[in-house]
Amino acid sequence: MSEARPDLSQILSRKVTVLGATGTVGVATLDVIRHARKTYGADAFPLQALTAQKSVDALALLAHELKPELAVIGDASLLSELREKLSGSGVRAEAGQEALIDAAKEPSDVVMAAIVGAAGLAPTLAAAERGAIITLANKECLVAAGPVFRKAMANARHKMVPVDSEHNAALQLLDGSDTAALEKITLTASGGPFRTWTMERMRSVTPEQAVAHPNWSMGAKISVDSATLMNKGLELIEAHYLFDLPLEQLDAVVHAQSVVHCLVSYTDGSQLAHLSAPDMRVPISYALGWPRRISSPARRLDLAQIGQLTFEAPDMERFPCLRLARDCLQSGGAAPTILNAANEVAVEYFLGRRIAFLGIAEIVESTLSAMSRETNGAAPASLAEVLALDAETRARAREICRAAA
Ligand code: NDP
Ligand code: MG
């Protein structure tokens, strides 16, 4: 961070690949790029590749409009459909899981990692290993494979810029500051749609209620994670790997308005806060423009209209997922990888109406204790080891889900 800052024209000429282009973060990223092209010129942020899993229509539309060199659909059965839709466009079309990894390997300066879940691990790691700037939304990468990414990014020329709003805010608050005087980073949590609900009332929560986040519009998985507060737990683990801080220097506070995204405390008693409208185009703009700032189409904040900002301690009795994630960060080793996989399975079962909302924490806890008896507890040291532990955990979690269903 001490090296000379690139000038804006260098930043705008960065070639970008968007993994998960059809998702909430992917779409918001492309909106920031459209805005940059309007503001700075049509050649801002040329696109190397866009990817999706199944949304072939949306991917083809984006490719026609934004002209990446390559479009990749993860579901191999959709290759001929994608090729047909892109014929004459000049955009190459590929499909399958290997093609997603190859897309990440194609030369681009920045890779927006916006696939959801552990599915994003292999492509994101491939991009990290070739030295692309990783703008990371896909927090599951660091939760499931923190040490592996750390090793891949150990070289000083490798950069990871968080897109997750709290971590992006922390980076903004830390940039240029005296990091030796850092005391604590506090992530804010909206508290989700059930912030004020009793356990009794949460027993009958439906997927529709859980994905209806009060402040943010997000994909289904992260919306459920926000409702259980697992999201904040995953984010504490993410912050641990991004900023190299132990749990004692990481904290979470519930802030229902989602206006303050992060607080950074220094040894002189100062606490700096980052504020913005809850709009992902703010952190995405900072990540794409980092270490400078670029114009963003994001909503502007009107504090007088908001009136009040409130803060409260998270309730770990009603939201046990946060406690489980904190415990996993504390114990380290294999625990975060197991936590992530168990949570992905439990959320999938909840969204499929096969377990109850409160069952998510129960499944995660049971899977963690079953796996702690069955594995040696060491942190997986390579992508292959992460994927093996992830698969083993998923199989175990599915068994536990089926028994609970
Ligand atoms: P979405 O569900 O909206 O989008 C996910 C994207 O990943 C889509 O493009 C989807 O393609 C693709 N995808 C899904 N499954 C696979 C797979 N198995 N292999 C390859 N690609 C796949 O998610 P979000 O945009 O909400 O979230 C993306 C990531 O960013 C998550 O890790 C989330 O935690 C993180 N994040 C999101 C925030 C938000 O505001 N949404 C905020 C902070 C972090 P298709 O459309 O074809 O299914
Ligand atoms: Mg976040």
Q: If we measure between CA atoms, which residue out of 68, 47, 53, 60 comes closest to residue 23?
A: 53
Distance between terminal CA atoms of the chain?
50
pLDDT at 1: 43
Q: If we measure between CA atoms, which residue out of 100, 97, 115 comes closest to residue 22?
A: 115
Does the CB atom of residue 114 touch ligand 1 within 6 A?
yes
Q: For atom 18 of ligand 1, which residue has the closest CA?
A: 119
Specify the 3-state DSSP secondary structure of 86.
helix
Q: What is the Cα–Cα distance from 376 to 392, expressed in whole angstroms? A: 13
304 Cβ partners below 8 Å, 6+ apart? none
**Average pLDDT across the chain, whole number:** 96
pLDDT at 3: 59
The number of the ligand 1 atom at minimal distance from the alpha carbon of 117 is 32
The answer to whether residue 87 scores a pLDDT higher than 60 is yes
The alpha carbon of 28 and the centre of ligand 1 are apart by a number of angstroms equal to 12
Residue bearing tokens 């892109």: 86
Both tokens of residue 129?
């290993």
Q: What is the Cα–Cα distance from 363 to 371, expressed in whole angstroms? A: 12
Q: How many residues does the chain have?
A: 405
Does the CB atom of residue 289 touch ligand 1 within 6 A?
no
The number of the ligand 1 atom at minimal distance from the alpha carbon of 137 is 30
Where is average pLDDT lowest: 18-32, 148-162, 182-196, 353-367?
Answer: 148-162
pLDDT at 157: 74
pLDDT at 5: 84
Return the ligand number nearest the Cα of 28.
Answer: 1
Domain ranges of the chain: 8-162
- 3-class secondary structure for 108-150? CCEEEECCCHHHHHHHHHHHHHCCCEEEECCCHHHHHHHHHHH
Return the ligand number nearest the Cα of 25.
Answer: 1
Q: What is the Cα–Cα distance from 119 to 141, expressed in whole angstroms? A: 9
Q: Which residues pair with 135 in a beta bridge?
A: 112, 161
Residue bearing tokens 């900023």: 243
Summarize pLDDT for 178-209 with one digit per residue, the tens.
788 999 999 999 999 999 999 999 999 999 99
Q: What is the Cα–Cα distance from 341 to 157, expressed in whole angstroms? A: 31
Q: Specify the amino acid at residue 155.
A: N
pTM to 2 decimal places: 0.97
Domain 8-162 has CATH 1.10.3720.10: no
Does the CB atom of residue 281 touch ligand 1 within 6 A?
no
The number of the ligand 1 atom at minimal distance from the alpha carbon of 165 is 43
Return the ligand number nearest the Cα of 261.
Answer: 2
Q: What is the Cα–Cα distance from 311 to 7, expressed in whole angstroms? A: 39
Return the ligand number nearest the Cα of 280.
Answer: 1
The answer to whether residue 303 scores a pLDDT higher than 60 is yes
Q: pLDDT grade, residue 158 (50/70/90)?
A: confident
The answer to whether residue 2 scores a pLDDT higher than 60 is no
The alpha carbon of 272 and the centre of ligand 1 are apart by a number of angstroms equal to 30
The alpha carbon of 67 and the centre of ligand 2 are apart by a number of angstroms equal to 30
Residues lining ligand 2 (ion), CB within 5 A?
Answer: 164-166
The alpha carbon of 43 and the centre of ligand 1 are apart by a number of angstroms equal to 27
Both tokens of residue 44?
């801002």
